[in-house]
Amino acid sequence: MVARPPLSLLLLLLLPMALRSYSLLSPRLSSQSLLSSQSLLGSGARASRPARTLLSSSSSSTAADWPLSKVRSTFLSYFTSPPRSHTPHPSSPVAPLNDPTLLFTNAGMNQFKSLFTGTLPPSSPLFSLSRAANSQKCIRAGGKHNDLDDVGRDTYHHTFFEMLGSWSFGDYGPGEAVGWAWELLVEVYGLRPERLYATYFEGDEDVPADTVSRDLWLKYLPADRVLPCSRADNFWEMGETGPCGPSTELHYDLVGGRDASPLVNKDDASVIEIWNIVFISYNRDAAGLRPLPKAHVDTGMGLERLAAVLQGKSSNYDTDAFAPLFAAIASESATGAAYRGRVGEADGDRVDTAYRAVADHARALAFALADGVVPSNEGRGYVLRRILRRGVRYGRQTLGCGEGFFGRLMPTVVEQYSDAYPELRKNQANILSIVEEEEQAFSSMLVKGIKFFETVVAKPETVASRQISGADSFFMYDSMGFPIDLTTQMAEEADLTVDLPAFQSCMDIQKTRSREERKAKRSAPGEVALELIAEQTSYLADRGVHITDDSPKYAPSPSTPGTVLAVFSPSTSSDPSSFGFVPSSPPSSRVGVVLDRTPFYAESGGQEFDTGAIELPGGATFDVTDVQSYAGYTLHLGSVSGGSSVSVGDAVSSSIDAARRANLASQHTMTHVLNFALRQVLDADVDQRGSLVAEDKLRFDFTAKKALTPEQLKRVEDLVNEQIEQKLVVDDQLVPLKEAQAVSGVRAVFGETSDPSNPKWVDSHSIEFCGGTHLSNTGDSGSFVLTEETSVAKGIRRILAVTKDTAAECSASGSRILASLERCEALPSSLVGPDAAALRKELDQSFISAPLKTSMRLRLETIQKRAQEAAKAEAGRKLNAVLGEVTEAVEKKQVCVIKFTGIEGKGAQKIAEKVKKANPDCSFFGVIEGEDGKVSCFASVPDGREVNAGAWIKEVTGKFGGRGGGKPAFAQGQVPEGTQAQEVVAAAAAANNIGLE
């Protein structure tokens, strides 16, 4: 093994504008960082670039004038330069892993959702943003915005695309947004103003018309090119719930010299939307649409669409965004057909449709896999699998591409986009591995799907209706991974249709069920979810209610004094203007309580919440069963015992469940040490893909190409326990955010003797940002037991582990079973069989260390193999002895019946052969009494005898309710358990009046 320098482990807890550090002072930890800080520390500094000269572009520009990279960089430079001065904020992953309301990031504003709704905690680096700009990676292939079925059929829809975006978080309004849009498009990019058309929301019964946007556009455009549109076109919502608002859009006429207003928002490829400005001023939840306390601006422009306009192309697919992929696809195609840009009926052989779909899907897949999404049978993983299968089907069936072609396209995507998105190159090997495996699996799935489809086509109800039912098509979609468009195409080829409304009904039922399950997690039966969103947090802020001081959670005392600032009970509030806040809780109701100061840890970062009690005036108790945080307000969920109530202004005393907290802190601290140990043992980058810190266990998901070996698992477990045994002290200090960002390698011990800027600290400390609670000393964990290591998805493994008392119980169980194993090993081989079998069953059902279990299984297998070999040898000896006895017993006899004890049933054939050699004229019946008490029998009869071996066996076994049979010369049979062997011997001797001689 490579020698590594001594190291200390430093954990940083993210706090408002600062980082709390936890240092495990160890002489033996490695120099590997536990987690990259990049994912937690976004760019928080406002750009300070000099003003740039506005560029111009002629209408005859080409890809050489405006390559995709220049279109992207020009947008970002414009918005980050003064006087606009937007903060350049990096793109978030295409999968919002912490937002269950979205399958994929479908717009640039998704990562800022909490800013719009007022639920962002002050500790977030986004909290201080007032303006931001970026190019966001987006996928629209599921949920409210789903373009998957349109991809390939036209020239402008994509599952994956880049959204150029700029945002105001309550900073500026429509005037700036509209003015900058015009300046950028006309004066910087050089678009022809006479080809631009603006739309605005015309209003409806819920939301008034957006006359502000209308009047702003009239400063730049004539009235006949400023068009009112309906909610469907000009009211933007990112999902079933969440922030939303009226939008105003700019559309560009690619033809020119005409009145194109009738074609706006009519899905005409010659008049396309290129810019969308959404005024985020509402929020939609289960109760409906409600105004937000503050209005925000969200602008977005499709990079590919803008590039097509600037490059003088009528199709996004004719730009340099797709040219490299089309070339790669052409080299894979066996048909030799080149891309010609045809759509609709003109694309009769669907070759161009296939080109577009394959290229689009290759991009979507590469970016999703790079961001940690993996194909699966549910949620976004299923959508990703559908994208892959749709692309593979087009390539294989339409373009004639060879097996594995889709995986061979991935390097082209990586090469084209990795300069802007380096995560592609970093994860290229994993991308290729997953695509190859999924592509191979799809081949067998396709065969099964076609077979099932054929059975559906043959159903009488299908024949009669000439239609595939919604239930059958949904089963193929949901359970077999068959895209609905593939089912529809196969139906068309069979002169059938698919009941798409019924299929959609099945989909809606599934979505409703999922939403209800999510709501149930935060609500009691018959109540709405107890969650604070923008209305509630703004209501508190507007009334001067300060966010909760939760600093006591890191060092809770037995009792923390505080005051009730708010009581939240939306299910009983009769005043809509109070947004669910009431002076006192209704009797016996589940409510939420906001305190000025709390020791309770709110659920976050994978760590479960604290539970405990809040002592009220008069001796009543508010039992806390859940704790959540919204925009800095800690909401304690529970109810008052004894029929009392909790009221605003109550002076209270809070205490957490100390035993639960100790277990949570132990699991959380050891999660960090486990992360470190994995990096040491795997000697490679180990990226976290999720975690759970519960009272009774910890769960850690991480990237790994294959399962850990038993030796690696044991080494991981040993490394963690070494840190526990050393009883490392955890040092706790507050560190300003900027100072933490300046730490070399994000590693340091902060104090008088530390030098955060010194690169040498990388070799002696390991740092991880964290907001959870931890132990003050690693020794308090007692011990660590790794109980399971499994696969979650391709390239992602999961470890389950326990600490403290549970770990001690696991260790005790393991020691007890190990002692039994050692006793078993000491037994003679002839006696070990039954004990080994019982021990194996106990071991399989045990809850002990995974590496210890694996080790003991291997030892048990050795014991059992040795016992089997010994039993086989003993059986051989017994059989040889029996063969000698048989030779003497059958000498000069016509009929012979003998009972055998302790030989294996498979020895019957050898005995019969011995009888035939010793006395060819002897009819022989053998009864075998096994060591387990079971009785079997066999018969051997010479050729030409009246006695038939099969009939002989059937007659004897039939007397006891058994069964048997065979050929006239040799047959075998069995009798029920409990039958006495001697009784079978007597029956065999008496059969057909044959007696013993």
| Gap between the Cα atoms of 416 and 428, Å rounded | 13
| Gap between the Cα atoms of 168 and 176, Å rounded | 10
Residue 807, helix vs strand vs coil: helix
Contact 797, 712 (CB under 8 A): no
pTM beyond cutoff 0.85:
no
| Gap between the Cα atoms of 545 and 532, Å rounded | 14
Q: Quick one: which of 773, 799, 761, 853 has its CA closest to 674?
A: 799
> Which residues share a beta bridge with 733?
21
Taking only the tens place, the pLDDT of each residue in 402-461 is 889 999 999 999 999 999 999 999 999 889 988 998 888 887 777 678 788 889 999 999
Q: Is 296 annotated as a binding residue?
A: no
Contact 675, 10 (CB under 8 A): no
Q: Is 668 annotated as a binding residue?
A: yes
Residue 517: per-residue pLDDT: 60
State how far Cα 373 lies from the chain centre.
7
| Gap between the Cα atoms of 270 and 256, Å rounded | 9
Residue 870 CB neighbour total at 10 angstroms: 16
Q: CA angle 954-960-964, nearest 5°?
A: 30
Cis-peptide, bond into residue 83, ω within 30° of zero = yes
| Gap between the Cα atoms of 396 and 406, Å rounded | 9
| Gap between the Cα atoms of 833 and 847, Å rounded | 24
Place of tokens 């009926």: 345
Place of tokens 């007022």: 118
Which residues have CB under 8 Å from 578's CB, separation 6+? Answer: 539
Residue 109 CB neighbour total at 10 angstroms: 26
Burial call 21-33: b when 16+ CB within 10 Å, e when fewer: bbbbbbeebbbbb
Residue 570: per-residue pLDDT: 77
| Gap between the Cα atoms of 356 and 582, Å rounded | 57
Q: Quick one: which of 540, 538, 568 has its CA closest to 636?
A: 568
> Which residues share a beta bridge with 375?
none
Q: Can you read off the two tokens belonging to residue 5?
A: 């320098």
User: What is the residue-wise DSSP string for 4-39?
Assistant: ----EEEEEEEETTEEEEEEE--SS--S--SS-STT
Q: Can you read off the two tokens belonging to residue 213?
A: 């946007």
- β-pair type (591-595, 612-615): unpaired
Residue 44 CB neighbour total at 10 angstroms: 17
AA identity, residue 214: R
Using CB atoms within 10 Å of the CB of residue 41, give its burial: 0 to 12 exposed, 13 to 18 middle, 19+ buried.
middle
Contact 58, 190 (CB under 8 A): yes
Q: Can you read off the two tokens belonging to residue 804?
A: 């403290």
Place of tokens 């038993």: 710
Residue 960: per-residue pLDDT: 93
| Gap between the Cα atoms of 293 and 299, Å rounded | 20
Alpha helices in 827-907 (DSSP H): 833-845, 850-889
Contact 707, 797 (CB under 8 A): yes
Place of tokens 């006429």: 253
Alpha helices in 919-980 (DSSP H): 949-958
Q: CA angle 408-411-415, nearest 5°?
A: 155
| Gap between the Cα atoms of 922 and 941, Å rounded | 7
State how far Cα 575 lies from the chain centre.
41
Q: What letter would DSSP give residue 188?
A: I
Q: Can you read off the two tokens belonging to residue 705?
A: 């190409």
| Gap between the Cα atoms of 477 and 500, Å rounded | 12
State how far Cα 248 lies from the chain centre.
35
Q: Is 824 annotated as a binding residue?
A: no
AA identity, residue 580: G
Mean pLDDT of successive 10-residue stretches along the chain, which has 997 residues: 38 39 32 24 28 37 81 96 94 79 82 82 82 94 73 87 94 95 96 96 92 96 96 85 90 94 91 93 82 90 94 92 95 88 88 94 95 83 87 87 92 95 92 89 76 90 92 86 78 87 88 63 53 84 89 88 93 71 86 95 91 92 93 92 87 95 93 90 80 92 88 94 87 60 41 44 56 87 93 85 93 91 80 77 89 89 82 82 88 89 82 91 90 88 83 92 90 91 92 50
Residue 798: per-residue pLDDT: 92
Residue 862, helix vs strand vs coil: helix
Q: Can you read off the two tokens belonging to residue 206?
A: 């819920």
Residue 208 CB neighbour total at 10 angstroms: 11
> Which residues share a beta bridge with 790?
798
Contact 565, 593 (CB under 8 A): no
Place of tokens 């005393």: 653
| Gap between the Cα atoms of 178 and 174, Å rounded | 6
State how far Cα 797 lies from the chain centre.
11
Q: Can you read off the two tokens belonging to residue 754?
A: 């530390």
Residue 376 CB neighbour total at 10 angstroms: 15
Q: Can you read off the two tokens belonging to residue 319?
A: 């730009």
Residue 488, helix vs strand vs coil: helix
Q: What letter would DSSP give residue 647?
A: B
Q: Is 628 left (phi over 0), alpha (psi -120 to 50) or beta?
A: beta
Burial call 377-411: b when 16+ CB within 10 Å, e when fewer: eeebbbbbbbbbbbbbbbbbebbbbeeebbbbbbb
The half-sphere exposure of 879 on its side-chain side, counting CA atoms within 13 A, is 19
